[in-house]
Amino acid sequence: HSDRLRPAVATTPPAAALSQDELKRVAAHRAVELVESGMVLGLGTGSTAAHALDRIGELLRCGVLRDVVGIPTSEWAAARAAAAGIPLADLNTHPVVDLSIDGADEVDPALNLVKGRGGSLLREKMVEGASRRFVVIVDESKIVSRLGGSGLAVPVEVIPFGWVLTLRRLRSLFDGMPGFNLKLRTASTDAKASTFDENGAELEPFVTDNKNYIVDLFFEDGIHGDLNLISDEILRITGVVEHGMFLGLASSAIIARNDGMVVMME
């Protein structure tokens, strides 16, 4: 798919190297240039999307943008967007979204993504799947040759009921794949829920906005095989709500590179 790589915009490399957060901001601001007055916007979740939300708020305040309405992809995005002064709505009143802007954990050469490190994959997939255009904003570190290849989790949202059984079924799906591992995501702080694993040990699960749990899948060398087939197999497990592979959903990616160039891939 290298023919899909199209350098769209090149900027002069800055004198000093940019931090990862500055690169996220550069990508986010470039994406916000695509926003037009009157649009219904899908509002992403995470530290990269935060820059886009803040920028949209700034442009609304100074009158460059008017009459946009945002569909947040998480409770976090709703709060951040409200603080930035972006009027909010939901998918029920606005089932067609003009443009979504969101970060990702991984982007492969065919523009397939892994998302959900923040746990918002379900609402993100619903909003971004309802979008005429979905622009992914990332710094260069998110680019992988194979999904699952960065060592970060590929998340699967599961219902709390019987999660141990669902986790077992997910494990048998990938049985034999070298270096495969999986575990229930636990809350790092302020755990509000409690559950027990198959050995009776108490765990404090991470709970999504939809009151579900997350099982994180780890692939030492990325996911081998037909991604669409693997996606179907995961979704066929009763108890699975959604997974964090976003296949064929992104229209383009704006990548801020360490050398100061901004590249658009589509």
With contacts defined by CB under 6 A, name the span among 78-86, 101-109, 188-196, 209-217 that binds ligand 5RP.
Answer: 101-109
What ranges in 93-236 are assigned the alpha helix state H? 121-129, 163-173, 227-235
Nearer to ligand 5RP, 70 or 116 (CB): 116
Q: Which residue has the tokens 């997910």?
A: 170
Tell whether residue 120 is a contact of ligand 5RP (CB under 6 A): yes
124 is catalytic: yes
Amino acid at 266: E
Structure tokens at 208: 């999504």
Nearest Cα to 210, choosing from 124, 152, 134?
124
Task: Compute the least distance from the CB of residue 120 to ligand 5RP, in Å.
Answer: 4
> Site mask, ligand 5RP, residues 10-49, x = CB under 6 A?
----------------------------------xxxxxx
Place of tokens 């999904």: 147
Measured between alpha carbons, how far is 259 from 11 in angstroms, rounded to an integer? 10
- Measured CA to CA, the distance from residue 174 to residue 32 in angstroms comes to 39
Closest separation in Å from C-beta 235 to ligand 5RP:
18
The one-letter amino acid code at 172 reads: S
Catalytically annotated residue among 106, 124, 157, 242: 124
Compute the least distance from the CB of residue 66 to ligand 5RP, in Å.
Answer: 27
Which range in 84-92, 113-121, 159-167, 175-183 contacts ligand 5RP by CB under 6 A? 113-121
CA distances to 120, 125, 154, 161 from 102, in Å:
11, 11, 17, 30
User: CB under 6 A: which stretch of 88-96, 111-119, 181-189, 233-241 binds ligand 5RP?
Assistant: 111-119
Q: Is 181 helix (H, G, I), strand (E, B) or coil?
A: strand
* Nearest distance from C-beta of residue 246 to ligand 5RP, angstroms: 9
Q: Which residues bind ligand 5RP (CB under 6 A)?
A: 44-49, 102-105, 115-121, 124
**Catalytic residue positions?**
124
